[in-house]
């Protein structure tokens, strides 16, 4: 049995950020991770967008908060950020919940850059009613991963365990005992649940506290990586605000990520825990069940790529000179707070389920709101 000041479950950005934050304060920290490496899931598999708030024209609070954290994140993590490209936001002429004028108005209110560009430069005639040059960057998860691996490697106070299977978490007086399937056990007066899509699964494993699950649905999402043409190389394009698409640089990889609101999610689960038909197809005794979510990206049972759909949608809007070729698809599970569907906001949800000992769960869909954790650590 080992004693720690904090046990952090999940080695994504939120987990490792918290580990470093606490280690810097001189605390002894244990990080437990399901996969064999950090950053194998949502931290790596997403649009890699450092959000400035443009995405949320229907939720000014989310926008203003994103903009505030944007600067801080860019300062702290500048080494992994790619900013030498033009990020174009456009509003679709048809089916957009926000018009070009409303988008400009919104940017002014949020105090973020929004310079009008010629729609005809990027888009086919009559597809968009406005195009704007904005300030938004992309981060490279692999570089960020290297940074954290190096930083935590040299930290005497931090232990990291990979390929960990948690059996249960038991409240014992003023500490939590985290028991693993292999019989090992670890104790700490503080547990941080930073597992994103597994957040409810971990809460279910806790014994001795009042449980309250996050009201979320789950979407199995596909991010397509593609090789951009010369014209597209230094441009990111996002068409708003509705069932549209985004194609933008994917960190410093030289590739672009292609995503579409309708086609990126493949299958959805509305249960409290992620229940999917593909888990049954895998057969019994697999590493992915409604109680323990496997890694969708390494799963042999991935859905077929939605490339034909996504590329057709993008081609319908973009001028042919902005071409791109398919390279590969990445899959990950995305939990979405049901309360945020109407205004499309993405609040960081932090829940303290127990005070002494402390059990904190965090759920956030954005990388640069990681600072929301500070006050809970």
Partner 1 sequence: MGNSNGKKEKKFISLVIYLHDAAAYLKYFLDTVIPVCTDHFEQFEIVCVDDASQDGTVDLLKEYAEKNQVKVMINVVHMSFFQGLESAMNAGRDIAIGDFVYEFDDIFVDYEPEVIIQVYETLLQGNDIVAASSKGKLRLTSKVFYALYNNTSRGNVKIGPETFRIVSRRAINRIKSMGLYIPYRKAVYMNCGLKVATINYHSKDVNVRIKNKTVVSERTALALDSFIYFTNVLERVSAVICGVFLLFTVGMGIYIISDIFNHTKPVEGWLSTMGFLALGFFGVFALLTIILKYLSVMLSLIFKHQRYLVSDIEKVVKR
Residues at the site binding partner 1, with contacts judged by CB under 8 A: 94-95, 124-126, 242-243, 262-263, 265-269, 275-277, 306, 308-309, 312-313, 316
Tokens for 213, please give them.
Answer: 């699950």
Tokens for 308, please give them.
Answer: 């034909």
Contact 106, 89 (CB under 8 A): no
Give whichever of 217 and 351 is closer to partner 1, judged by the CB atom: 217
Give whichever of 109 and 267 is closer to partner 1, judged by the CB atom: 267
Query: 41 CB contacts (<8 Å, ≥6 apart)?
Result: 12, 35, 196, 197, 295, 296, 297, 332, 333
Give whichever of 268 and 339 is closer to partner 1, judged by the CB atom: 268
Q: How far is the CB of 35 from partner 1 (least distance, A)?
A: 25
Compute the distance between CA of residue 23 and CA of residue 262 in angstroms, rounded to an integer: 41
Q: How far is the CB of 208 from partner 1 (least distance, A)?
A: 33
Give whichever of 84 and 94 is closer to partner 1, judged by the CB atom: 94
Give whichever of 254 and 308 is closer to partner 1, judged by the CB atom: 308
Q: How far is the CB of 261 from partner 1 (least distance, A)?
A: 9
Tokens for 67, please give them.
Answer: 């903009």
| 3-state secondary structure (DSSP) of residue 97 | coil
Contact 57, 103 (CB under 8 A): yes
Give whichever of 286 and 305 is closer to partner 1, judged by the CB atom: 305
Residue with tokens 């005070």: 355
Compute the distance between CA of residue 22 and CA of residue 124 in angstroms, rounded to an integer: 51
Q: How far is the CB of 1 from partner 1 (least distance, A)?
A: 41
Give whichever of 111 and 243 is closer to partner 1, judged by the CB atom: 243
Q: How far is the CB of 312 from partner 1 (least distance, A)?
A: 4
Compute the distance between CA of residue 235 and CA of residue 286 in angstroms, rounded to an integer: 42
Helix 13-24 × helix 141-153 angle, to 10°: 30
Compute the distance between CA of residue 295 and CA of residue 280 in angstroms, rounded to an integer: 15
Compute the distance between CA of residue 360 and CA of residue 32 in angstroms, rounded to an integer: 15
| 3-state secondary structure (DSSP) of residue 330 | strand
Q: How far is the CB of 319 from partner 1 (least distance, A)?
A: 13
Q: How far is the CB of 227 from partner 1 (least distance, A)?
A: 21
């Amino acid at each position: 049995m080992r004693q720690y000041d904090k046990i952090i479950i999940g080695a994504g950005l939120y987990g490792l950020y918290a580990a470093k934050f606490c280690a810097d304060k001189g605390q002894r920290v244990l990080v437990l991770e399901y996969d064999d490496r950090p950053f194998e899931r949502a931290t790596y598999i997403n649009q890699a967008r450092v959000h400035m708030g443009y995405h949320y024209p229907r939720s000014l609070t989310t926008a203003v908060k994103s903009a505030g954290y944007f600067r801080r994140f860019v300062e702290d993590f500048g080494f992994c950020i790619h900013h030498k490209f033009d990020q174009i936001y456009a509003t679709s002429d048809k089916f957009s919940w926000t018009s070009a004028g409303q988008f400009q108005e919104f940017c002014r209110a949020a105090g973020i850059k929004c310079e009008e560009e010629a729609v005809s430069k990027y888009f086919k005639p009559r597809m968009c009613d406005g195009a704007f040059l904005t300030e938004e960057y992309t981060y490279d998860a692999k570089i960020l991963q290297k940074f954290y691996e190096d930083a935590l490697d040299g930290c005497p106070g931090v232990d990291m365990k990979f390929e960990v299977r948690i059996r249960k978490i038991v409240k014992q007086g003023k500490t939590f005992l985290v028991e693993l399937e292999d019989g090992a056990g670890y104790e700490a007066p503080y547990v941080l649940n930073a597992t994103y899509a597994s957040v409810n699964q971990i809460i279910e494993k806790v014994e001795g506290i009042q449980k309250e699950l996050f009201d979320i649905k789950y979407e199995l999402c596909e991010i397509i990586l593609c090789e951009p043409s010369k014209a597209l190389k230094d441009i990111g394009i996002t068409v708003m605000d509705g069932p549209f698409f985004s194609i933008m640089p994917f960190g410093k990889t030289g590739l672009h990520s292609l995503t579409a609101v309708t086609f990126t999610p493949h299958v959805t689960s509305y249960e409290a825990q992620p229940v999917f038909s593909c888990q049954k197809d895998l057969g019994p005794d697999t590493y992915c069940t409604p109680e323990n979510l496997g890694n969708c990206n390494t799963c042999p049972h991935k859905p077929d790529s939605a490339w034909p759909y996504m590329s057709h949608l993008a081609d319908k809007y973009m001028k042919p000179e902005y071409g791109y070729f398919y390279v590969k698809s990445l899959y990950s599970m995305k939990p979405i707070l049901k309360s945020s569907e109407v205004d499309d906001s993405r609040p960081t949800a932090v829940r303290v389920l127990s005070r002494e000992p402390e059990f904190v769960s965090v759920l956030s869909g954005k990388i640069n709101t990681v600072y929301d954790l500070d006050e809970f650590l």
